[in-house]
Amino acid sequence: MRSTVSFYVCFLLSLCLGLACVVCVCVWNSHWRGGFAWDGSSLQFNWHPVLMVTGLVVLYGNGAVLYRVPLTWGQNKLPWKLLHATLMFLALILAIVGLCAVFDFHNAKGIANLYSLHSWIGIAATALFAFQWVVGMAGFLLPYSPESFRKLLKPIHVWMGAGIMTLSIAACISGINEKLFFVLTKDQPYTKLGPEAVLGNLLGVLIVAFGLVVLKMLSDHRWQRPDSRPEDIDYTPVLQEENE
């Protein structure tokens, strides 16, 4: 009972921190950076941090902990697999659109792509995420996927998911820091820690806090979903009914 209560405290905290991250990044780019557009200007760039934080961190993190929610235990696993895959797919789409925003902006302004450590980490996180999603679909959702393959894939899938989350956090906080150094002028330098700098730093702290809570939920063995039945039972009866 205490373990369940502890989980829901962490889960509620992650939801609050995730919402705070989204609100913070939206306020930063709408109020201090001038809003949004899709015209190759700096306003198009503003979509990049919003979509990456929302998709690659917040939506990804919430999708990753879905199986840890005790409410889902003891139920047919297939609907939760589909919800997990859907949330992850939406997160991936947001991340890809976020990358398109920054690439278009760079190309319009004649700025080189993928030259910074931030961009290397970000593109690696997104590429690994796409690979993870495709392999996860093939291994856990395609009918009659071999049981031996699932057993081999499951620990790798979990480990890689936590690794992608870590890379996403690193990409976001390095990107925030890089952006603040670029945009804060001599009149209001980063070192003066003006309102925009404080908000940017706060966003970074919120992202790290959100990531730590999510990683705690993923790593605590008390909150792992008990595997009470073979994986293929989840959807084989459904397929049999359809064939009948």
* Per-residue pLDDT at 234 exceeds 50: no
pLDDT tens digits, residue range 70-127? 888 877 888 999 999 999 999 999 999 999 999 999 999 999 999 999 999 999 999 9
Architecture of domain 2-238: Up-down Bundle (1.20)
Instruction: State yes or no: pLDDT of 34 exceeds 80.
Output: yes
Name the CA radius of gyration of the chain, rounded. Answer: 20
What are the pLDDT digits (tens) for 49-81? 999 999 999 999 999 999 889 888 877 888 999
CA distance 32 to 1: 46
Q: Is the pLDDT of residue 232 over 60?
A: no
At 229 the pLDDT is 39
The residue with tokens 């995420």 is 129
Using a cut of 0.85, tell me whether the model's pTM lies above it: yes
pLDDT confidence of residue 213: 98
Q: How confident is the model at residue 144 (pLDDT cuts 50, 70, 90)?
A: confident
User: With 70 as the cut, is the pLDDT of residue 207 above it?
Assistant: yes
From residue 36, give the alpha-carbon distance in Å to each of 42, 49, 146, 237.
8, 11, 47, 48
For the segment 2-26, the average pLDDT, to the nearest whole number, is 95
174 has pLDDT over 80? yes
* Rounded Cα distance, 117 and 54, in Å: 21
Q: Hey, how many other C-beta atoms are within 10 angstroms of the C-beta on 139?
A: 19
Q: Which of 27, 56, 38 is nearest to 174 (CA)?
A: 56
- Res 227: pLDDT: 63
**23 CA to centre of own chain:** 16
